[in-house]
């Protein structure tokens, strides 16, 4: 079995490497400082020794500079503030503090470290030039006098300010870069979440459209089956041929409805793609023939110019006729139905279905989801829809854009 390495391992090892380097550099700097100080002999040995001990403790404490930054900073400035030693540990601790601190906290921390660096370099300014950090590159003349001139104090404090400013600036730059990386990661995460939500919304909208489409289809098919069965019951004495014809229509319609139901279930389970089959103006004639076979008197007028109406408008026109026929057959059984489709590329496509009223209008019964769904489909493609009861008849009419 292959072990799975943690994704945090590279970062952890990198942090350990930096910590080891920081502790090592701090200890070696303290060694150099105590060597220079003891050789110069400007102060007693105990001064150098205490400074080295405090700096060694501060160097070890750098291991916890990210966990206890202010405690480590306090330990790091004790040595250089009061004894003749270096301020390397204080600069490293300041970098850790400046990585997250802002405002007054950062200003106070920077001022304390500046004081520690300034005091440390002030000691260095009065040493022999060949034992001074400030003039470590001074060339000695062979057999000549030992250089013993002092460096002005303002130079020591200027160098201290440059060091503290560089450390603080690098820390702030690093913090800004980290904040930018975090912001980019957050933006990318929210973008992925937004894309996922948008895709989910698209899927839900598509499934809603399919469900609505299937409601219309199944409702029409079941209504036709009911009408055929009613006609079969009423006309059962008209002979075997009439009965066989009605039974065949019932069987055919039931199979079509079952096929549509299987397709929609497959799509909702994510196992297929539903395009709605043949749902266009060309299919309206089949609806008319089915209604006539069920014993309904239907007048059909088609006046559409050649050139092909848009796919969306053609499908919605089919749905309008299908729903209107279903409602008329259910709620005004036996009443004549008039269907008209006419239009061209200049004026658009107009669909009109009207039937004589034999009782309450269609929307007085049921939930009215069919007409509501039709209105939504029409408006989605930029058309207009109206279904209302007129004197003595029920009227469904719609205008659809030609190229939608």
Among 145-149, 161-165, 182-186, 257-261, the least confident range: 145-149
pLDDT, tens digit, for every residue of 42-57?
777 888 788 888 888 8
Report residue 1's pLDDT band, with 50, 70 and 90 as the boundaries. Answer: very low
pLDDT for 16: 85
Dihedral Cα 11, 15, 17, 18, nearest 10 deg: 140
| Alpha carbons 266 and 214: distance in angstroms, whole number | 13
Q: Is the pLDDT of residue 263 over 80?
A: no
Report residue 366's pLDDT band, with 50, 70 and 90 as the boundaries. Answer: very low
pLDDT for 144: 59
pLDDT for 182: 87
pLDDT for 315: 85
Kindly state the average pLDDT of the residues 11-20.
82
Q: Where are the domains of the chain?
A: 9-137+147-151, 283-404
- To the question of domain 283-404 being in CATH 3.30.565.10, the answer is yes
Pairing of β 298-304 and β 337-344? parallel
* Nearest one of 43, 30, 45, 108 to 76, comparing CA atoms: 30
Kindly state the average pLDDT of the residues 367-374.
67
Q: What is the DSSP letter of 152?
A: P
Q: Quote the distance between the C-alpha of residue 165 and its chain's center.
A: 40
Q: Is the pLDDT of residue 219 over 70?
A: no
Give me the phi and psi of 350, to 5 degrees please.
-115, 130
Among 48-62, 156-170, 230-244, 372-386, the least confident range: 230-244
């Amino acid at each position: 079995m292959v072990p799975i390495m943690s994704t945090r391992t590279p970062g952890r090892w990198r942090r350990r490497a930096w910590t080891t380097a920081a502790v090592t550099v701090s200890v070696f700097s303290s060694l150099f400082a105590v060597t220079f100080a003891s050789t110069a002999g400007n102060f007693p040995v105990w001064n150098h020794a205490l400074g080295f001990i405090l700096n060694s403790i501060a160097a070890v404490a750098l291991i916890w500079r990210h966990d206890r930054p202010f405690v480590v900073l306090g330990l790091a400035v004790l040595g250089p503030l009061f004894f003749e030693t270096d301020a390397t540990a204080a600069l490293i601790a300041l970098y850790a503090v400046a990585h997250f601190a802002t405002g007054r906290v950062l200003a106070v921390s920077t001022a304390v470290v500046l004081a520690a660096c300034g005091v440390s370099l002030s000691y260095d300014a009065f040493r022999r030039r060949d034992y001074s950090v400030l003039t470590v590159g001074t060339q000695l003349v062979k057999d000549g006098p030992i250089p013993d001139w002092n460096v002005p104090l303002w130079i020591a404090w200027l160098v201290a300010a440059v060091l503290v400013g560089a450390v603080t600036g690098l820390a702030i730059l690093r913090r800004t870069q980290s904040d930018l990386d975090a912001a980019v990661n957050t933006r990318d995460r929210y973008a992925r979440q937004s894309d996922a939500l948008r895709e989910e919304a698209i899927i839900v909208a598509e499934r809603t459209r399919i469900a609505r489409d299937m409601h219309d289809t199944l409702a029409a098919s079941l209504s036709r089956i009911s009408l055929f069965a009613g006609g079969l019951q009423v006309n059962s004495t008209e002979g075997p041929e009439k009965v066989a014809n009605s039974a065949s229509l019932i069987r055919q319609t039931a199979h079509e409805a079952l096929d549509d139901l299987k397709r929609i279930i497959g799509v909702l389970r994510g196992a297929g793609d539903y395009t709605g089959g043949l749902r266009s103006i060309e299919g309206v004639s089949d609806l008319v023939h089915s209604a006539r076979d069920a014993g309904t008197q239907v007048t059909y007028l088609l006046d559409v110019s050649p050139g092909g109406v848009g796919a969306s408008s053609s499908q919605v026109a089919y749905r309008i006729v299908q729903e209107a026929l279903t409602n008329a057959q259910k709620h005004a059984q036996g009443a004549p139905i008039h269907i008209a489709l006419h239009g061209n590329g200049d004026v658009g496509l107009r669909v009109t279905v009207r039937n004589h009223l034999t009782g309450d209008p269609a929307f007085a019964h049921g939930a009215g989801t069919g007409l509501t769904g039709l209105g939504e489909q029409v408006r989605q493609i930029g058309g207009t829809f109206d279904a209302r009861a007129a004197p003595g008849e029920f009227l469904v009419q719609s205008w659809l854009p030609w190229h939608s």
